[in-house]
Structure 1
C-alpha cells in the first residue's frame, strides 16, 4: 500500500530513531575493536591456554570482548523500553535525557572501566549504575504511562 502524494505520515519514534545512529556506531566500534584484537593476536575464535602468550594481550582481548558483550546485553532492552515510552506519549525531553545517560554510561563502562588497567576503572561502576538506572527508569516510566490500563 502506498501513501498518496501530499499526505504527511508522522514519525512514530523520532527520539529512539535519533539515538539509533550513535548507539549503533559505538557498538560497531566495540565490535571492530574485538575483531582487531583477535586478528592482532591471531586468535580468531578460542581463548589461548599457551603460557608463552603475554597475559596483557589476553587481558585486552578479554576486556574488549566483555565491553562488546555487556553492550549487547543491555542496550537492546533499553531501546525497546524507549520505544514503548515514546509510542505511549512519553516526554521527549525525558526520553532524550534517558538515552543520553544510557549512551554515556555504556561508553564510560567500557572505555574508563573495562579497558582500564585490570578492568577496574571507575567508569565500570558509574557505567553500570547509569545503565541499570536508565533501564529501570524507562521501565517504570513506561508502566506509568499505561497505568490507566491496569484493570480499569
Structure 2
C-alpha cells in the first residue's frame, strides 16, 4: 500500500492504483526538474496544466515508447551465457552460469556442462525476500537509484522495493 494506506494494484489491462502511483513519482520528479529550470518541452508525453504549465499527467504509452526497453524477455539470462547477469552467477571455476532453466535448456554455446545456478542464490538477489524478515538483518537506510529514462529495469521495481521498505518504517 502507499503512504496513504491505499492498496496498490493493477487490472488485467495494466491500469489501476499502482500505475497511478508510478506516474505520480515521475510527475513529481519532472515538476521538480522543471522548477529548477530544466526544459522538458521536447518530452511530449507529459500532459501539462494549461494555466500553470506544470505537469499533471503522463501519456503512459508515449512515455514507455520513449523509455523503450534495452533487453527483450529472456535476455538477462542469455542463451549465449554471456551477460553481466550470467557473470553474477559465476563460480570460482566458471565465469558465467545460467540461472533459469529455460536459458540452460536452450544454451547456444559449445559448453555441454550447462549449470543452472541454485535457487538459494537467485533468492538472495531479490531484496523483497529479506525486507522485514525476522531472519535478516536489514540496513536502517537504503539508497534506491533509478533514472527517469532507465531502460534496464522496469520503473515498477524500485518503487516496489522502496514502498515495501517505507511500509516497514525504513
TM-score in terms of structure 2 length: 0.24
Task: Name whichever structure is richer in helix by fraction.
Answer: 1
Task: Name whichever structure is richer in strand by fraction.
Answer: 2
TM-score in terms of structure 1 length: 0.26
Flag the structure with more relative contact order, 1 or 2, with Cα contacts below 8 A and sequence separation at least 6.
Answer: 1
